[in-house]
């Protein structure tokens, strides 16, 4: 029934908030539709765009979830408290991995993957007009969280001459009231790595500016050739000024399960927990039980993943070199960072998609300083990279 005095055409959808016009488009958001069209045309698509290894989920996680699904005690809201066994498993893993004890109740927070928590950290740590330092190119939630918090965003270009590291002096020289620095090493998308000495410099620089450090360590366990990624809490002062984020998505191939944790300074954890209570009621306790089971056998499980990804890395590097690209084998992550012929990453990746049914991520989609590069995800079996090289040569 139409309300009295109003015609059927009188109702209009309210206008979108003006601030949405200032959001950049999410990287390659139309790729799923293009892939579907190509497949419907009978094309064989090779997708090296998304950061999903497509390796099997650990069987121990599947079994633990199957058992948990029948447990009535795990069916209710987890809230921010979560499953005690999961918190304790996280604290145990952190102690074994980084040699530093953490309190499972005050220095650990279960999260629904790390994407949402990384963005919400900006709301927990920033006042309007505070300055936040974000690497460019970088992970979209760094920008998104800071943007919706009303912060002053300072992008730091990741350059080859700096080994794709954020120079500590950029932290010291940041304008305004610097309150938050986002860092991610091993790095997505460049695959750059940092040593402990670099992380110590960063922590010192943040302390000098009274700034929080959000250290996104999602790739800490995906490392090769003897490289060991440092953790924030093993660095002097790291616990005082920062939060470290870990995820099951890349490490244990559980992207769709949406499970991770934050560890670090107890007061910062409390602030983030308080914000999260307004946005979510915690991840399913059964998935947290599965996470606890995985962490109990973490060393064995991650080695299987690392071995598979190392084989893919080696095959991909050989294939791209054979196609005329110059690149080093990365020491970490599941990505290669390629220099794009001609420098226009979006046009080149679009041509590869339409002509060769090959999906790569243009660097410019991850930030303006990513222009001239493309990210290749190690998402297919080693033997398929020869076909990737053939498709690359077809567009040369």
Pairing of strands 242-247, 212-216: parallel
Mean pLDDT, range 218-247, rounded to an integer: 97
% pLDDT > 70, the chain:
97
pLDDT at 28: 63
What span, in angstroms and rounded, lies between the C-alpha atoms of 249 and 334? 12
What span, in angstroms and rounded, lies between the C-alpha atoms of 299 and 297? 6
Output the average pLDDT for the chain. 94
4, pLDDT greater than 70? no
Pick from 224, 234, 249, 215: nearest CA to 330: 224
Domains of the chain, residue spans: 25-54+300-394, 59-296
pLDDT at 394: 82
Q: Burial, 18: exposed, middle or buried (Cβ in 10 Å; 0-12, 13-18, 19+)?
A: exposed
If DSSP codes are grouped into helix, strand and coil, which group holds residue 336?
strand
Element (H or E) spanning 134, and its range? strand 131-136
Mean pLDDT, range 193-220, rounded to an integer: 98
Q: Burial, 89: exposed, middle or buried (Cβ in 10 Å; 0-12, 13-18, 19+)?
A: buried
Helices (H), 44-139: 59-69, 84-98, 115-125
Poorest-pLDDT segment among 11-15, 92-96, 152-156: 11-15
Q: What pTM was estimated for this model as a whole?
A: 0.93
25, pLDDT greater than 90? no
Q: Between 3.40.1710.10, 3.30.70.260, 3.40.640.10, 3.90.1150.10, what CATH number should domain 25-54+300-394 receive?
A: 3.90.1150.10
8, pLDDT greater than 90? no
Q: Between 3.40.50.1370, 1.20.1250.20, 3.90.1150.10, 3.40.640.10, what CATH number should domain 59-296 receive?
A: 3.40.640.10
Considering only residues 265 and 16, tell me which one the structure prediction assigns the higher pLDDT.
265
If DSSP codes are grouped into helix, strand and coil, which group holds residue 376?
strand
195, pLDDT greater than 90? yes
pLDDT bracket for residue 161 (50, 70, 90)? very high
Considering only residues 347 and 27, tell me which one the structure prediction assigns the higher pLDDT.
347
CA dihedral 110, 111, 113, 117 (to 10 degrees): -140
1: which residues sit within 8 A by CB, 6+ positions away?
Answer: none
Pick from 325, 324, 330: nearest CA to 312: 330
How many CB atoms neighbour CB 207 within 10 A? 17
pLDDT at 27: 59
Pick from 71, 139, 119, 94: nearest CA to 287: 71
DSSP conformational letter for 368: G
Handedness of CA 292, 294, 296, 298 (dihedral sign): negative
C-beta separation of 242 from 264 below 8 A:
yes
pLDDT bracket for residue 3 (50, 70, 90)? low
C-beta separation of 201 from 307 below 8 A:
no
């Amino acid at each position: 029934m139409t309300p009295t005095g109003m015609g059927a055409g009188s109702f209009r959808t309210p206008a979108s908030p003006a601030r949405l016009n200032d959001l950049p488009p999410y990287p390659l958001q139309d790729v799923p539709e293009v892939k579907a069209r190509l497949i419907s045309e009978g094309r064989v698509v090779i997708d090296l765009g998304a950061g999903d290894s497509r390796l099997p989920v650990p069987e121990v996680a599947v079994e633990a979830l199957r058992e948990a699904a029948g447990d009535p005690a795990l069916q209710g809201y987890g809230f921010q408290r979560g499953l005690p066994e999961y918190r304790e498993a996280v604290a145990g893993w952190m102690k074994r991995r980084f040699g530093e004890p953490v309190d499972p109740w005050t220095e650990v927070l279960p999260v629904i993957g790390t994407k949402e928590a990384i963005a919400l950290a900006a709301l927990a740590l920033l006042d309007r007009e505070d300055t936040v330092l974000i690497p460019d190119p970088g992970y979209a939630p760094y920008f998104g969280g800071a943007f919706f918090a009303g912060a002053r965003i300072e992008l730091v270009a990741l350059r080859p001459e700096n080994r794709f590291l954020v120079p500590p002096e950029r932290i010291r020289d940041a304008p305004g009231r610097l309150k938050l620095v986002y860092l991610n090493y091993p790095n997505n998308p460049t695959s750059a790595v940092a040593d402990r000495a670099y992380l110590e410099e960063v922590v010192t620089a943040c302390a000098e500016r009274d700034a929080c450090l959000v250290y996104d360590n999602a790739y800490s366990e995906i490392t090769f050739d003897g490289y060991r990624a440092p953790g924030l809490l093993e660095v002097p002062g790291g616990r005082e000024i920062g939060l470290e984020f870990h995820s099951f998505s890349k490490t244990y191939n559980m992207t769709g399960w949406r499970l991770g944790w934050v560890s670090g300074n107890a007061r910062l954890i409390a602030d983030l927990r308080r914000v999260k209570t307004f946005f979510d009621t915690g991840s399913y306790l059964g998935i947290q039980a599965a996470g606890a089971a995985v962490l109990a056998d973490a060393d064995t499980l991650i080695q299987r993943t690392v071995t598979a990804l190392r084989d893919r890395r080696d095959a991909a590097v050989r294939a791209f070199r054979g196609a005329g690209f110059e690149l080093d084998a990365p020491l970490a992550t599941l990505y290669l960072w390629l220099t794009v012929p001609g420098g226009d990453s979006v046009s080149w990746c679009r041509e590869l998609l339409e002509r060769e049914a090959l999906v790569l991520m243009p660097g410019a989609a991850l930030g303006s300083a990513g222009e001239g590069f493309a990210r290749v995800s190690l998402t297919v079996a080693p033997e398929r990279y020869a076909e990737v090289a053939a498709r690359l040569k077809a567009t040369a």
